[in-house]
Amino acid sequence: MFKNVFGSGFLVRTAHVILTWVITLILFLHDTDLRKQEETGELTLPVLFVLLVLVSVLLYFAVSLMDPGFVLSDECDLQFTLGIAEETQDMIPQTTKSIRLRRCGHCLVQQPMRSKHCQTCQHCVRRYDHHCPWIENCVGERNHRWFVLYLAVQLVVLLWGLYMAWSGFSHAPTWQLWLRTNGVLLGAAAVVAVLSLTVLLLLGSHLYLVSLNTTTWEFMSRHRISYLKHCGVDENPFDRGTLRNLWGFFCVWEPVVWEHVYFKQGNNPI
């Protein structure tokens, strides 16, 4: 399920963790509401903040180390994929759409629909969304919902941290003295503000695409994807309505045979 912790993304993950806890430490060392409540013995808010930061770090590692849905090369996975495809093809009516299972030219496995080979991970990934350099891992069928959850928790942490940083700025008679007093906190607040905007945009875009049941790869490269070339400009063969799309993404954990959805022969996961 998890890849080697000391793989190629070790430095990225280490930098993420260090930055997270350094900013948290800065918020506690300056005269913010967190420190004030800690000094007065009111530990509820500081403890909740630290726990939320810890949850965000754990989610980060879970998403970055989790198997995103690699297409296995073992015989069982190949038989499952081909068996489903053959059964699906027997039920497919004659339409302008065409289905063609491709064998990946890199890892030599049969690619299910909506999968793509990642040049960085050197694997084909089911329901491939994108390769994220932030987590040094692909976002795919198995970890996409966890990635969205991580973004949501991270956004709450960042906005809360930004508010706490604002509460810690102290007054000074001159700008030079103010910068000398609040320079470190100002730098931390600037980093948190940039990260907040980034995470907000990422979370919003992913929720929008999830509501349409499409992926970042399909949205950006629609004209180059074989199973979407025959569809109209506004046609999405995987769209089952906003509520069903959201329900299927967040609440249905079983793998979905996207060939069934594509040809409208059956939308139930197997």
Active-site annotation, residues: 132
Q: Report, in angstroms and rounded to the nearest whole number, the Rg of the chain calculated over CA atoms.
A: 23
| Distance of alpha carbon 251 from alpha carbon 244, whole angstroms | 10
CA count, 13 A, side-chain hemisphere, 222: 13
Q: Which residues contact 259 (CB under 8 A, 6 or more apart)?
A: 84, 85, 88, 99, 112, 113
Return the number of other C-beta atoms located less than 10 Å from residue 97's C-beta: 15
Q: At 64, phi and psi to the nearest 5?
A: -75, -25
Distance, CA of 88 to chain centre: 30
90, 82 Cβ separation under 8 angstroms: no
- 41 Rama class: left (phi>0) / alpha (psi -120 to 50) / beta: left
